[in-house]
Amino acid sequence: HESNAIRKDDAFLAFEEIFETAIAARVDCVFLAGDVFDINKPSRETLVRTMEILRKHAFGDKPVAVEVVSDTKENFPSRGIVNYEDPNANIALPIFSIHGNHDDPAGEANLSAMDILAQAGLVNYFGKHGLGG
């Protein structure tokens, strides 16, 4: 938890290790199963450190070997496309994520920190539902 001065780096070390292990194993993509953050509104420090780790491992020159065959506009509503199909991004390791119950969208605009990561082109955020009845 980011408020614990002794243990706050543990999550970042584990997060970094996920991607180092994935790259060593030469995986085609990584799926994050929600709760990337333990609260809906992580601190700026937490958000920036998370973005640094994602940027370090997502971008590069390796060709992408996965293909999304579903409707990306429907399944990735934050951007309408997956990041590796964006001509302005050089993605080597696609990262797909859903939100969890700790970092779920909230508020009038139904946004979360996952939306920021998706708009930055760092993750492909899916599983988000619009507000309504």
Q: Tens of pLDDT along 21-74? A: 999 999 999 999 988 888 888 999 999 999 999 999 999 999 999 999 998 888
Q: How many CA atoms lie within 13 A of 25 on its CB side?
A: 10
- Output the CA–CA distances (angstroms, integers) from residue 61 to 34, 65, 85, 89, 93, in the order listed: 27, 12, 14, 10, 9
Kindly list the catalytic residues: 102
CB contact at 8 A, 42 and 2 = yes
3-state secondary structure 67-107: CCCCCHHHHCCCCCCCHHHCCCCCECCCEEECCCCCCCCEC
Kindly give, in sequence order, each residue whose CB lies less than 8 Å from that of residue 87, ignoring residues fewer than 6 positions away.
none
pTM: 0.89
What is the number of helices (H) and of strands (E) in the chain? Answer: 4, 3
What do you get for the CA distance between the two ends of the chain, in Å?
34
Q: Tens of pLDDT along 61-110? A: 999 999 999 988 888 887 889 999 999 999 999 999 988 776 666 677 77
Alpha carbon 41 to chain centroid, angstroms: 15
